[in-house]
Amino acid sequence: MTVAAHPEQVAGPAPATSGRRVIRVLLRDRGAVLSGAYLALIVLMAIGAPLISAITGHGPNDFDTAAVNTDLGGVPYGSLGGISSEHLLGVEPQNGRDILARIAYGARVSLIIAVSATALTTLLGVVLGMLAGFYQGWADQVICRVMDFLMAFPALIFMIAILSALPQGNRPVLLVVVISVFGWPYLARVVRGQTMTLVNREFVEAARASGASTGQLVFKEILPNLRSSLIVMTTLAVPGYVGTEAGLSFLGVGVTPPTPSWGQMIASSVGWYAVDPMYFVIPGAFLFLTVLSLTVLGDRIRAAFDAGEAS
Amino acid sequence: MTRYVIGRLAGVVVILFLVCLFTFVLFFTLQPDPAVMICGKTCTPERIDQIRDVLGLNQPFLTQFFGFLGGIFAGRDYGEGANLVHCAAPCLGYSFQTNQSVMDMVVERLPVSATVAIGAAVLWLIVGIAAGLLSAVKEGTWWDRTAMGLALGGSSIPNYVLALALQYVLVVQLQVLPFPQAVAFSDDPVVWFQSYLMPWIVLATGYACLYARLTRANVIDTLAENFMRTARSKGLSPALTMRRHALRPALTPIATIFGMDFAALLGGALITETVFGLNGVGKMAADSIAKNDQPVIMAVTLLAAFFVVVGNLVVDLVYTRLDPRVRITTP
């Protein structure tokens, strides 16, 4: 943990910031580089989804009955789930929608929901965790009780119950809100604990004695010291939320069809796994690799920060 | 200690009450009229009124809420006169879909969820802790790197993808297992075991990977402690220092995490049970949500919350036994 340095106190050449050091360490790590490359590919795919559709000529919801064998109940023609030069990742059984296009559009949904949920969770967790840790007393009491309450909730069952009870509305927004409401306590607990120890450190005391306002204390003294743990926690939260969104969509309460999502694609493949295994293997592999890459990246970032603290 | 336990029990009751209230408010305000849903297609306004009357749906919110709560502790009556139905305590009402007593449904399905949870727990504890210990002892070797790489990968596979992949490989392709069936242990132990094997593996994989990583990290931390150096310098063999001194402090945190994970699973493994068609509490939850069966949703939510809260309490109480360095001080 780096102690916040006041600009006027820094003498001599500034040491390499921990951020730059961490990036240098990560660039030398094969696992981190591979994960980063894969994630970059997924992000590009998500952004370029319309482009992919335009090039291949298949939209995510275009039916292609020529690609499936209607006599056999709609199994795709050809081997491996209908993979061909026409459909690079095959087609869905029955209606023949292009899987590549659906994967690309599905990546948008998954990533946007996971990243927004992480952002909202982090915002809630940091604000409430710091409030509790900084002011302590009754604010701490109230926030801790709310956290206990939310963490005691059977989150998955309850998320499903809420999502199924809520009117249709804007599904992705609802998903983000529901995931964040149940997710922030885990982050807030850590932020609270660290804030409590930071508040009593000498440099905060010194700043307070030299007349810093509460805002200055919070944003200039405490928040910068939470940075490394926040970066680690948020990178590790994203894969969790990618999984949660896919799980909720898998159970039928996530994004509604025809909007594609990876979890929903896997859910619709359940009835087909025996005759057309590629139908679940492809979205499953994309989901697995995305979660794995994010986890590896988060893990390596943590290791890099920990090594920096130890030195 | 007694004061601490009483205080915690009061906390358990408060949280369960709040979960109850929260769920009730949610359905009271958001759900479409249950009477219309129960009534179905061939429905007359009189019939709807009658259903509302019997179920007390035309009562104000608080009356309904306390009616539900009262049913749990004292039982309750539905309807009056010749139509009177008594639901004995603990009463969770009747399913809107099947008219079955919700309590009976829970009692019937809980053993399935418990079987899934216990089998999976045995599997992931053995595999996870063994792999973690080996990795910690052989830190930095190829075994350690392979095991930890696999653990990272294994914890990234979503349950349902693993379930489909296993079914495809083991049931469809290799045909070493039959498709999971609902068979009682007493009827056919072999088919029973074969049917539960895949759910156990699917559920255990993620946890085993997590526990392997946790065990490794904890053991490595413990091995670096001063008391371990002392033990080694006394001349104890590595195996003996591990058994006598390292295991207990290293595994105590795992025990607490295990308590909470296991309690959460007793409330139903939604995805695994649904994918394998096991008639446990988890599948009941998924089905009731799909069909908007409010009394059943209330019951599964409460049940899951009950397990989580009680699990937390048990973990905290057991912790002081496992780790004598932690003592509960009553304020």
Q: How many CB atoms lie within 10 A of CB A205?
A: 12
Is residue B19's pLDDT more than 90?
no
Inspect the interface and report whether the beta carbons of B167 and A273 lie closer than 8 Å: yes
Quick one: average pLDDT of B113-137? 92
- Of residues A81 and B249, the one with the higher pLDDT is B249
Of the candidates A291, A241, A286, the one whose C-alpha atom is nearest the C-alpha of residue A103 is A286
Is B190 touching A (CB cutoff 8 A)? no
For residue A34, which residues of chain B lie inside 8 Å, CB to CB? none
Rounded to the nearest angstrom, the gap between the alpha carbon of residue B83 and the centroid of all alpha carbons in its chain is 38
Q: Give the model's pLDDT for residue B122.
A: 94
Strands B76-78 and A68-69: unpaired
CB B56 within 8 A of CB B63: yes
CB-based contact B253:B132 (threshold 8 Å): no
Six-digit token pair at A7?
A: 């600009």
Pairing of strands A68-69, A75-76: antiparallel
Contact between B172 and A156 using a beta-carbon 8 Å cutoff: no
* Position A310 confidence tier, pLDDT thresholds 50, 70, 90: low
Each residue's pLDDT tens digit, A174-227: 888 888 988 888 889 888 888 888 888 888 888 888 888 888 888 888 888 888
Query: Rounded to a whole number, what is the distance in Å from the CA of A217 to chain B's nearest CA?
Result: 31
pLDDT at position B299 = 86
d(CA B211, CA B203) in angstroms, rounded, equals 13
pLDDT, tens only, B316-331: 888 777 776 666 554 4
Instruction: Judge contact between B60 and B24, C-beta under 8 A.
Output: no
Under an 8 A CB cutoff, do B304 and A284 touch?
Answer: no
CA distance A181 to A146: 11
The residue of chain B nearest to residue A146, with distances taken between CA atoms, is B15
With the CA atoms of A71, A72, A77 and A83 taken in that order, what torsion angle do they form, in degrees rounded to the nearest 10? 150
- pLDDT per residue as tens digits for the range A41-92: 999 988 888 888 877 777 777 777 666 776 766 677 766 666 776 777 777 7
- The answer to whether the CB atoms of B285 and A239 lie below 8 A apart is no
Confidence of residue A123 (pLDDT cuts 50, 70, 90): very high
Average pLDDT of span B28-55: 70
pLDDT of residue B33: 67
Chain A positions in Cβ-Cβ contact with residue B285 (cut-off 8 Å): 157, 160
In words, the CATH class of domain B104-329 is mainly alpha
The domain spans of chain B are: 2-87, 104-329
Mutation site, B31, B33, B156, interface A, largest A CB count within 10 A: B156
Measured CB to CB, residues of chain A less than 8 Å from chain B are 148-149, 152-154, 156-158, 160-162, 164-167, 239, 243, 246-247, 250-253, 263, 266-267, 269-270, 273-274, 277, 280-281, 284, 287-288, 291-292, 295-296, 299
Q: How many beta-carbon pairs under 8 angstroms link A with B?
A: 107
Q: Record the tokens describing residue A179, joined without a space.
A: 């995931």
**Alpha-carbon distance A200 to nearest alpha carbon in chain B (angstroms):** 23
Minimum mean pLDDT range among A176-180, B94-98, B108-112: B94-98
For chain B, list the strands marked E by DSSP: 76-78, 85-87
| CB A160 within 8 Å of CB A174 | no
The yes-or-no verdict on residue A14 having pLDDT over 50 is: no
Nearest chain B residue to A293 by CA: give it: B156
Residue contact B271–A250, C-beta within 8 A: yes
Contact call for residues B195 and B181 (beta carbons, < 8 A) = yes
Q: How would residue B70 be classed by pLDDT, with cut points 50, 70 and 90?
A: confident
Per-residue pLDDT tens over the stretch A130-168? 888 888 888 888 888 888 888 777 777 778 877 777 766
Q: Could you give the ipTM of this predicted complex?
A: 0.80
Name the 3-class secondary structure at A69: strand
| pLDDT at residue A151, as a whole number | 79
- Work out the number of other CB atoms within 10 angstroms of the CB of residue A164: 18
Residues of B within 8 A of A298 (CB-CB) are none
Domains and CATH numbers, chain A: 20-310 (1.10.3720.10)
- pLDDT at position A7 is 44
Q: Which residues of B touch A114 (CB under 8 A)?
A: none
Please report residues of A whose CB lies closer than 8 A to that of B172.
273-274, 277
Position with higher pLDDT, B202 vs B240: B202
Chain A partners within 8 Å of B289 (Cβ) = 160-161, 164, 253
pLDDT band, very low/low/confident/very high, at B119 (cuts 50, 70, 90): very high
Could you tell me the pTM of the whole model? 0.82
Q: Facing residues of B87 across strands? A: B76
Question: Are the CB atoms for A262 and A110 separated by under 8 Å?
Answer: yes
- From residue A233, alpha-carbon distances to A170, A179, A183, A207, B104 in Å are 28, 16, 12, 28, 43
A-chain CB neighbours of B213 within 8 Å are: none
Contact B156 A288 (CB under 8 A): yes
Position with higher pLDDT, B27 vs A45 = A45
Mean of all residue pLDDT scores within chain A? 80
- Which residues, including other chains, have CB under 8 Å from residue A163's CB and lie 6 or more apart? A174, A175, A178, A248, A253, A254
Residue from A157, A182, A270, A280 to probe the interface with B (highest B Cβ count within 10 Å):
A157
